[in-house]
Chains A and B, each alone.
Chain A
């Protein structure tokens, strides 16, 4: 089965806290791609990162970092020193070689309070 699980439905933190959003995926394919998108209240899905299955290097972009571990089929997303503007729904998604059809998790709603 091809599946993405985001077990955290909603997370609330206070500004400046660090927060990690979990993503676990299932696939039998050896070539696949993982994505994170941010959906602010305006509705648009904003692309954050793409990672292919052959690249397990962690990535950092400003306050954002991603931890990809094939051994546990996880692609977790950490926001350091969270800000109110980080409040959004975050989606993890999966796609495969030669297709761009995304399989989405159900999303995690992050609320950052001042």
Chain B
């Protein structure tokens, strides 16, 4: 079974802190994604990566950056956390961009509260 693991389930950070959310997948997937989930808005794509050291902006990249130094790991970075970044963050992965209609697998989510 595919396993997408998010290292932190619950975090509380202060405004202005730098925050790292880590995600690891164990199926050698090429694609990795970070989504944000808010009530009434569904899930929105923040950033995604099709390969190591590659990254592309999603729909709401402002205030975030990402890092993909290894194929299995995709980190989401909040350079200076703000209260409007309080949310649930979900990491996902899928097989590869050259294959369409992949199943996209999600982690358990990270609940971030910025105070």
Binding site for B on A (CB under 8 A): 31, 33, 35, 37, 42-47, 50, 52, 91, 93, 95-102, 104-107
Rounded to whole angstroms, the CA-CA distance of A52 and B102 in the bound complex is 10
Instruction: Known contacts A100-B31, A101-B33, A101-B48; decide if A35 and B42 are in contact (CB<8 Å).
Output: no
Contact B100 A33 (CB under 8 A): yes
Instruction: Considering the complex, give the chain B residue whose CB is closest to the CB of A44.
Output: B108
Instruction: Considering the complex, give the chain A residue whose CB is closest to the CB of B9.
Output: A43
Name 17 interchain pairs, CB-CB below 8 A, sorted by A: A43-B88, A43-B108, A43-B109, A44-B108, A45-B106, A52-B101, A95-B104, A101-B45, A101-B48, A102-B33, A102-B92, A102-B104, A104-B42, A105-B42, A106-B40, A106-B41, A107-B42
Task: Check if B21 is an interface residue, CB within 8 A of chain A.
Answer: no
In the complex, what's the smallest C-beta–C-beta distance from B64 to chain A, in angstroms?
16
Excluding A47-B105, A95-B104, A104-B43, 17 further A-B contacts by CB distance (< 8 Å) are A31-B100, A37-B106, A44-B106, A45-B106, A46-B106, A47-B103, A47-B104, A52-B101, A91-B43, A95-B101, A100-B33, A101-B33, A101-B45, A102-B45, A102-B92, A104-B42, A106-B41
Instruction: Considering the complex, give the chain B residue whose CB is closest to the CB of A45.
Output: B106
